[in-house]
Amino acid sequence: MPKKLTFQRRSEDEDIKASGMYLDLDELGKKGAMSAADASIAKWYGIYKSRQPGNHMARIVIPGGVVTSEQAKNIATVAERYGQGIVNVTTRQALQFHWLKVSNLSDVLRDLDEYGNSTKHGCGDVTRNVTACPLAETCPSRRLNARKWAQKTSEVLGAARDLDDLPRKFKINYSGCSADCAQPHINCVGLSGVIHNGKPGFKVVIGGGMGWKAFVAQPLFGFIPEDSAVDVCRAVAILFREHGDRFNRAKSRLKFVVHRKGIDFCREVVLENLKAEGKSQDGFVVESVLDEGAPFDERPLLDDTPLGTDGLHTVRIIVPKGELPFGRFYELAKLAEQYGDQRLYTTNRQNLEIHGVAPHDVAELSAAINKAGYLTSGSFTLRDIVTCVGTTYCPKAVTETRVLFDKIHRLVSSDRYAGILSSGIINITGCPNSCSPYRIADIGFRGMRIREEEGSVEGYEVLLGGSQTSFGQKLGDFKLIDCEAVVSLVLDEFLRVRKDDEFLTQCVRRVGIEHFKGVVYGEV
Amino acid sequence: MARFEYSKAAPPRESSVTTGTGVTTLDLKTVARAIPCQEACPAKTNVPAYIEAIARGAHDEAYRINQQDNVFPGVLGRICTRVCEDACRHKWTNVEGPVQICHLKRYAADNIREKQSALPPWFDSSGKRVVVVGAGPAGLSAARELARMGHAVTVVERAPVAGGMLVDGIPAFRLPRDIIAAEISLIEQGGVTIETGRHVSAGDVADFCDNYDAVLIAAGTTVTNQISIPGAQGRMVSGLDFMRDYNRGELTAVNGNVVVVGGGFTAVDCSRAARRIGEPGAKVTIAYRRTEASMAADKNEFKAMAEEEIDIRTLLTPLRFETDETGAGHLVLQRNMVADGTLGAKAVIAPIEGREVRIPCDTIITAIGQKRDASLLTFGVDSEVDGRTSKPGLFVSGDFKGGSADVVSAVASGKDVARLIDEYLMGKRRLMRGVRYVDTDCDGETGRYRDHDIQWPLPMPMADVAARYRDNAEVEIGFTQLIAQNAATRCYLCHYKFEIDQDKCIHCNWCIEAAPRDCIKKAAKIFYDDDGFPVKVFEAERNQDATFIYIDNDNCIRCGKCLRVCPTEAIKMRKLETDDCVKCGE
């Protein structure tokens, strides 16, 4: 019989989703392999295929970026048992295992569940891990406690079965103030604390995103009362569910909806969605409002041991490449029990933090952390390089980002640049998906291969002068062997032309990218 | 070279321009490889473009594209020899056979909504006068093209109706007369004058040469080849005469059992015509000296002949006619054999001595080829090269030029000679064949997806045998909308070309992973011919050996997935259209 003609053209992933979004991981484990369709649905369980055939990654959802020390120990144990002993911190404050085998997946999830850890909705077309600025509860410049709302949002949206099948992933984050440490401008929904008419609430932006086509988020509301935050997130999710592109997966994120339909249309739909569900819109202000809170630092994360409003300190743990052996992770969890508030906090620089450290304990804890093999200083500096896992694990990656990490880390650690360490950040990503958001860094690298006369070699597109609200400008494409020299030329020139205490990004904007291009290409 | 500027392999270039019209050999080679059906078509019909229009339901547009390229869409949609289908990429990449291009052409012609009009002229009136001898497909095609070039064209035709072999050779049950008349009328609307019923002699041709700026002889092949069959005197009729008389309604009966000798178009038509006017229960046989593979009929026609109970006997050569004691006639034929190791159309045939076959026979129709009436050129024409003759201003085309062939070749020949005539008249080439590259901005959405590739083609509906004999009804009924959609969506739409901008490509290989089949490759090295046309690709296994990521258009199904998944927007889809470039000729 001839095949029946059909004229619907939704993407294959949509077909797979429509055929049911549940897996029996125990049965799959017995079978020992996943089909392509199984692998698509496994994302809803937080499981991705790794670059190495037969291996998988599982991502633990950590709303607000905080785990108890007990949960951390549980994670370390699971990593030891199933994941070749490795724990990774992600740029969206989650934790990941690699090297998991299909036959172990169900055991991994069960073992995690024992201490309340879950990978559910770690990946897939759902609301992903809701992140928050790391110092949420005690930051002196906070307008409200962002973490509380991040966790609440995660709980409500994660439990909403009508939001299980979005056109693509949906990312939300919360910042306590407009310093925007949680990076609201590059997420689907970004909420930043403001004070308006004496009341705390949020400024809401939507439609930001990195990926192959990057967009800066656009303002949805100038102010909403904090109680409405979860409702607004849900209303935006419904907007996305109804208007996202289910035909072309490459253009299905909310950022394309906002780009295509316009922010005003989106706002109307969001307000309608709120109305339809009987949610209050009292106190909503569309236009941007004057924040009545106290002034804040532009880059608050630079402080190594910030003092919270509770009189206690935060001690930062710089995790190179975001990867820890399980033993050290366990050790850090123990330190959090001894010196901190019995919790480990994750940051979007792939680092960890211990909060609630008494001033007199700071030195001792720092020493203990150093002894465990980690620096406690240098957060948000040139040395605090964020890199995706690259070809080490990721099937999408083009380059081995960790090689570049080592080269650049060695370079910026030299004495020559000691004076400008805190003047910028460096992000390295292995492909255009931008898991490490290279466009918002002072120096950003994106992996590529560069054609030669015969064959091709690893290289990077280098951007300079990025920020959340204004992406970096292209310096050029460079082979891996030249990247160190390029950064060195850039930093040397920065040293020469830097004015006062300006950041690298400010300097690039001031003197222009062409100037830096001239320097790098040897024309100046 | 400045610091950090790398030496890179030059990216493959398959066109002389990015957008606009290219007229170099490279462009023509690119379009020839990209669109094999169009390249195979003698008239160079833009097949994928009109099939895409049919898939959209735009029949008028599809008709127009055909009209432009092959002059007689409705006619050729029925009787074309379909060399395009042999070239279809489905023949190499799938097992279900080619796209039914010809039937689709007919579907579009049958379903046009608005009254069609003549094509607009390319140039203003030139004041030149041209006469064309013969209103067959070649003469009419040349006339239409010459008229579009601004010349005053008169076509003279011996027969009472224009059309040549279309009306005198091909029977109405394959090609209804109103279809021919409508398409000839479109040519007349374009400014061509047709004078029918006017016989032209060699002397007339000489007069034409004196009185017109150019003369084209497209008089076809009207002299039939003869064989003598001992004992068959009075029972033999030539196939050409038989079909002409049958088609004009002058022949309404045929005596007893019929044997048609020959295997060409005429033989097949004669047998089917004989069945329609023959005595009920009479035997109609085709006796052909070669095998079925050498016969002019297509699959559908063989099927129709089987239904019409026409016996096809091959590997037989007529020897003599005999009448037995009861008075029943028989044709005695020599058996032939195919030499070992030869097959199909190239088979070597040899007689088997002493082996004979007897077929009941009262009438013999010989259809063993025809040649032109060379007397038309008896006034000092020494040589002919590609349509030009040694006499300036006198041209030949169609069957008259190259011997009897199919209609689409005649159309092509007419179109080609029109350009030669125009060049002769105007002293320069005014039209240049080129390739127009059109940027598309549709995200690679061609409407095709993988399922379309493996869809099964549906057969052409045919009239019941009984119904065929009433009023000479057309045997092939035509596609329904469903069948047409099914056929049209199978087309790979080869006129879309996906290409990777090598300077934007970062070798992420995402397109390779998204590809529905092995259509995107890592290329270590690409070799080019002197025109810069890629002729060979060395594939690379490892990333470090891959100099280019290269889309293999031969295997591309135009689904657009690669374009949509490309993170650096390095993949573009261009539309290739062959184009009569008026400007380039100036």
pLDDT value, residue B471: 80
A225 φ/ψ angles, rounded to the nearest 5 degrees: -60, 150
Q: What is the DSSP letter of B107?
A: H
pLDDT value, residue A3: 46
Q: What is the DSSP string of B460-482?
A: PPB--HHHHTGGG--SB----HH
Closest by Cα among A112, A345, A366, A11 to B560: A11
Q: How many C-beta atoms surround the C-beta of residue B16 within 10 A?
A: 19
Closest by Cα among A420, A421, A415, A418 to A383: A421
On whether the CB atoms of residues A346 and A64 are closer than 8 A, the answer is no
- The two tokens of residue B49 are 């473009």
pLDDT value, residue A1: 41
The alpha carbon dihedral of B540, B541, B543, B549 has a sign of: positive
Q: Which residues of B touch A457 (CB under 8 A)?
A: 544
Edge-to-edge strand ranges of the sheet holding A86-89? A47-49, A55-60, A95-101, A86-89, A323-325
B533: helix, coil or strand?
A: coil
- Domain A12-113 is found in CATH 3.90.480.20: yes
Q: Answer whether 0.90 is exceeded by the pTM.
A: no
- ipTM for the assembly: 0.88
Domain with CATH 3.90.480.20 in chain A: 12-113
Mutate to test the interface with B, among A12, A14, A168, A451 (most CBs of B within 10 A): A451
Q: Do A520 and B5 touch (CB under 8 A)?
A: no
B337: helix, coil or strand?
A: strand
Q: Which fold has domain A386-520?
A: Sulfite Reductase Hemoprotein; domain 1 (3.30.413)
**Residue A453 pLDDT more than 90?**
yes
pLDDT value, residue B374: 86
Q: Span A69-96, mean pLDDT?
A: 96
Give per-residue pLDDT as tens, B378-397: 777 777 888 899 989 999 99
Mutate to test the interface with B, among A456, A492, A517 (most CBs of B within 10 A): A456
The alpha carbon dihedral of B191, B197, B202, B204 has a sign of: negative
Strand partners, A343: A68
Selecting from A3, A433, A455 the residue whose C-beta is nearest the C-beta of B544 gives A455
- State how far the Cα of B448 lies from the Cα of B465, in Å rounded to an integer: 38
User: Which CATH superfamily hosts domain A140-276?
Assistant: Sulfite Reductase Hemoprotein, domain 1 (3.30.413.10)
Q: Which residues of A touch B482 (CB under 8 A)?
A: 5
Place of tokens 């009189």: A311
- In angstroms, the separation between the Cα of residue A208 and the nearest Cα of chain B is 17
Q: Do B506 and A478 touch (CB under 8 A)?
A: no
For chain A, say whether B543 makes contact (Cβ under 8 Å): yes
**Residue B490 pLDDT more than 50?**
yes
B324: helix, coil or strand?
A: coil
Q: Do A453 and B507 touch (CB under 8 A)?
A: no
- The two tokens of residue A314 are 């935060």
Residue B445's closest chain A neighbor by CA? Answer: A248
Selecting from B4, B508, B509 the residue whose C-beta is nearest the C-beta of A476 gives B4
Rg of chain A over Cα atoms, rounded to whole angstroms, equals: 23
- State how far the Cα of A97 lies from the Cα of A77, in Å rounded to an integer: 11
Strand partners, B330: B322, B360
Give per-residue pLDDT as tens, B157-190: 999 999 999 999 999 999 999 999 999 999 999 9
Q: Do B567 and A3 touch (CB under 8 A)?
A: no
Taking a contact as any Cβ pair under 8 Å apart, which residues of chain A between 483 and 502 contact chain B?
486
pLDDT value, residue A5: 46
A524 vs B235: which has the higher pLDDT: B235
CB neighbours of B489 closer than 8 A, spacing ≥ 6?
Answer: A5, B55, B447, B448, B452, B455
Q: How many C-beta atoms surround the C-beta of residue B201 within 10 A?
A: 12
- State how far the Cα of B149 lies from the Cα of B127, in Å rounded to an integer: 11
- State how far the Cα of A469 lies from the Cα of A190, in Å rounded to an integer: 12
- In angstroms, the separation between the Cα of residue A450 and the nearest Cα of chain B is 7
For the ranges A117-121, A417-421, B273-277, B455-459, which has the lowest average pLDDT?
B455-459
Rg of chain B over Cα atoms, rounded to whole angstroms, equals: 27
- Domain A313-371 is found in CATH 3.30.830.10: no
For chain B, say whether A309 makes contact (Cβ under 8 Å): no
A5 vs A108: which has the higher pLDDT: A108
Strands (DSSP E) found in B415-570: 432-439, 496-500, 520-528, 534-539, 548-551
Strands (DSSP E) found in B276-348: 284-288, 310-314, 316-323, 329-338
Mutate to test the interface with A, among B1, B4, B5, B565 (most CBs of A within 10 A): B4
Question: Across the A/B interface, how many CB contacts are shorter than 8 Å?
Answer: 102
Selecting from B457, B489, B545 the residue whose C-beta is nearest the C-beta of A455 gives B545
Domain with CATH 3.30.413.10 in chain A: 140-276, 386-520
Largest CA distance in chain B: 104
**Residue A4 pLDDT more than 80?**
no
Closest by Cα among A509, A406, A402, A399 to A464: A509
CB neighbours of A155 closer than 8 A, spacing ≥ 6?
Answer: A63
pLDDT value, residue A524: 64
For chain A, say whether B486 makes contact (Cβ under 8 Å): yes
Residue A450's closest chain B neighbor by CA? Answer: B506
**Residue A6 pLDDT more than 50?**
no
- In angstroms, the separation between the Cα of residue A312 and the nearest Cα of chain B is 46
B542 HSE (CA, 13 A, CB side) = 7
Q: Do B510 and A396 touch (CB under 8 A)?
A: yes
For chain B, say whether A260 makes contact (Cβ under 8 Å): no
pLDDT value, residue A12: 84
Selecting from B2, B486, B543 the residue whose C-beta is nearest the C-beta of A456 gives B543
Report CA A20 to chain centroid distance, whole Å: 29
Residue A398's closest chain B neighbor by CA? Answer: B508
A14 vs A195: which has the higher pLDDT: A195
